[in-house]
Amino acid sequence: MQKFWKRISSIGVAAALCVGMAQSIPSSVLAADGTPLFTSECEDLTLEHDAQVATDVYGTQYPGYTGDGFVWVTSAGTMSFTVDAPETGMYRLMTRCIMYLGSTSNDIREAQVTVTRSDESKSTKTVKIAHTDDWNDFNWGDLKLTKGENTITFGGGWGYCLYDNMTLAKTPKPEYSNATDTPVDPNATKEAHALMSYLKSVYGSHIISGQQEIYGGGHDNNSELEFDYIKEKTGKLPAIRGFDFMNYNPLYGWDDGTSERAIAWAKDRNGIVTASWHINVPIDFDNYTLGDIVDWKKCTYQNYQKSNSTFNTANAIKEGTKEYEYFQEAMKDLAEQLQKLQDANVPIIFRPLHEAQGNEGNYSDGTSWFWWGDRGAEVYKELWKLLYTTLTEEYGLHNIIWEYNSYNYANSDTWYPGDDYVDIVAYDKYNCENNRDDGLSPGTPNLSAISPIFNYLYELTNGKKMVAMAENDSIPSEENMVIENAGWLYFCPWYGDHLMSSQYNDSEDLKKMYTSDYCITLDELPADLYSNADVPVVTTTTVSTIATTDVTSETTVSETVTSSETVTSSDVTATTTTTKTDTTASAPETDTTTTTTTGITTTTTTTGSTEEPAPGDTLYGDVNLDGRIELVDAVILNKKVADVVTLGDAASKNADCNADGEVNGSDAITLLKFLVQIVDTLPYTEG
């Protein structure tokens, strides 16, 4: 009941976040009513410093500009204008421009945009403008304006750009319903489906609370420090717990209990599991022999430029290289741990190879944070795909929801592995020290919802993927998320001071978020979180030789029947192709079951026990007497109701799912409800 009232009380927030995006052309520069708030030729703005109106640059022509010319900024030149904002909110600045230096999109210059608001607050941010050969529309991102007069100044920085015209408009609001809740893995487990379905159900109307634990034996073997702190300050616990599989590796690998804690969080606490993978490589890889133990102090997950590692990431995707073989061993160690979760029916939001672009790693010689990004975007994408296919196809791991960690740099889109390999797009927010957009001093909590970054990630996949804040320092405020229309799926502060220092999170702000109607905490997750997937099940079943103890002894005619039938309930559709041979009662009894599960498609061949169960061993729902309750039992029960087969005494007892002494259509419906978890136990009696 608590959750019901919570959802009702959040209708206002949901409505504020879920207004549809304008679809007129160009949608990115239109106000909510379909018209720009402000447009101008750049030469008509207020120009300062070295900004000058021109029609050529040192004799080089740039045809196609509008108006009398363009504004040429060689270094510190700026353009400014004042606009009367009708309401406090987010507004998008677009300019038609050319960054003429360089020759490829990897050649980048910096510029700045400053907003002086009507409430006298002020913010400045830096943008990256990539080289283009022709005029193009450049998005400066979304700026928070307050109701009344706001002055916007842009340009400057590390200039050398040409500006033709500009447009300011209300930022289009995300259409959260466009996001998919279907995992990219076609063989995803029902628990992964259930979790994706739940995430989609709250996306854009709530934010799910999360917290990263420290890895290994940190905090003097106390992995609960952050969680005890949250409980003390808020009376609540986060719904999501973050883990790290870094210590399971081919080098110094040791079992720090991560997998067991993850399973306990999901199974004992009904929580959601997410994890990263700071996988290490030997620094002296040239002299490393596969299988050697290497002290952790001689390992690294940093890029080769900083660590001086001789590990060449470009070789990790090339069969026959030592790097490739090492990465194979690393994936094997990882798969062993993920298999534990899959065996326990625990799905995981997995964020491997994260922050790959790092400090804008646009170059093949690398400026990324980590080794997996230090050879550039193309190598990284192939590494991601290798990890995906190895875990899913070679190791059969289908409990994974794949989360990709992106940035919003000038060409971050070139790092995206593709919609077929990503379920959720995420960003790691650390902006208390740098890149503030709230106008406040560094070293204090930053409650901004960073909607420009949210909108960039939303548009990266055209809204098809949910967008999460996988790591953060300060937790954005609910007010800012609503005003800025940034419906982050979840937040997850990093461990230690990032959560517990007042520099990053004020304890009163933390309590306000955790106790708000907008934030979902551990106690507010649905009890059927991992069993409430609305997943269509398509089953192809071959039943050969139904056990003769299930067929009346009077059957003496051998017959072969081939049929195509459909068994339907509100939740399950089963398409069945059946070959049935009814033999004499004295014929050998075979009933073996082989089940192959491939996502929403299950292929089952049924052959069962040769013996009747002992008296009193009734297993309601197990119509074919194979010791399991599966969709094939529902198929056979429906065939019994349709008088296609006759059941023996033991099968009839198991088929009586309502325990009323009869086997009829009501039992068939009850069994289907049990299989899709509408009812929890068998036998089941209404009322």
* Cα 143 to Cα 136: distance, rounded to the nearest angstrom: 20
Whether residue 609 is found in the same domain as residue 505 = no
Look up tokens 């995206």; give the residue: 416
Cβ atoms of 113 and 107 within 8 Å: the answer is: no
* Cα 102 to Cα 411: distance, rounded to the nearest angstrom: 15
* For the chain, counts of helices (H) and of strands (E): 16, 29
* Tens digits of residue pLDDT in 521-561: 999 999 999 987 554 433 333 333 333 333 333 332 233 23
pLDDT at 364: 56
* Cα 351 to Cα 424: distance, rounded to the nearest angstrom: 9
Whether residue 81 is found in the same domain as residue 130 = yes
In this structure, what token pair is assigned to residue 587? Answer: 């014929």
Whether residue 450 is found in the same domain as residue 594 = no
Domain boundary pick from 524, 546, 573: 524
Residue 475 lies in a domain: yes
Largest Cα–Cα separation, the chain: 102
Whether residue 160 is found in the same domain as residue 190 = no
Residue 13 lies in a domain: no
Cβ atoms of 332 and 315 within 8 Å: the answer is: no
Identify the segments of the chain with pLDDT beneath 50.
Answer: 1-34, 535-616
Residue closest to 85 by CA, chosen among 170, 148, 143: 148
Residue 686 lies in a domain: no
Whether residue 78 is found in the same domain as residue 219 = no
Whether residue 413 is found in the same domain as residue 484 = yes
Whether residue 44 is found in the same domain as residue 120 = yes
* Tens digits of residue pLDDT in 336-345: 999 999 999 9
* Cα 90 to Cα 77: distance, rounded to the nearest angstrom: 25
Whether residue 42 is found in the same domain as residue 26 = yes
Which residues face 300 on adjacent strands? 281
Residue closest to 273 by CA, chosen among 529, 476, 457: 529
- DSSP classification of residue 393: I
CATH code for the domain in which residue 320 is found = 3.20.20.80
Residue 283 burial class via C-beta count within 10 angstroms: exposed 0-12, middle 13-18, buried 19 and up: buried
Domain boundary pick from 524, 553, 581: 524
* Cα 623 to Cα 543: distance, rounded to the nearest angstrom: 13
* Count: domains in the chain: 3
Task: Find the helix packing angle between 322-343 and 258-267, rounded to 10°.
Answer: 30
Residue 4 lies in a domain: no
Residue 7 lies in a domain: no
Residue 680 lies in a domain: no
Contacts of 304 (CB under 8 A, 6+ apart): 310, 311, 312, 313, 366, 371, 374
CATH code for the domain in which residue 642 is found = 1.10.1330.10
* Cα 491 to Cα 480: distance, rounded to the nearest angstrom: 14
pLDDT at 362: 59
Domain boundary pick from 497, 524, 551: 524
Whether residue 579 is found in the same domain as residue 445 = no
Q: What angle do CA 341, 344, 346 make, to 5 degrees?
A: 55
The side-by-side arrangement of strands in the sheet containing 272-277 is 210-212, 240-244, 272-277, 348-352, 400-405, 424-429, 466-472
In this structure, what token pair is assigned to residue 339? Answer: 């298999």
Whether residue 407 is found in the same domain as residue 556 = no
Whether residue 510 is found in the same domain as residue 605 = no
Residue 136 lies in a domain: yes
What is the rounded end-to-end Cα distance, in angstroms, of the chain?
20
Fill in the amino acid letter for 46: T
Contacts of 58 (CB under 8 A, 6+ apart): none
Q: Which domain holds residue 44?
A: 22-170
CATH code for the domain in which residue 81 is found = 2.60.120.260
Cβ atoms of 541 and 598 within 8 Å: the answer is: no
Cβ atoms of 237 and 231 within 8 Å: the answer is: yes
Fill in the amino acid letter for 37: L
Residue closest to 158 by CA, chosen among 110, 216, 117, 112: 110
3-state SS assignment for residue 446 = coil
* Cα 638 to Cα 642: distance, rounded to the nearest angstrom: 6
Whether residue 364 is found in the same domain as residue 433 = yes
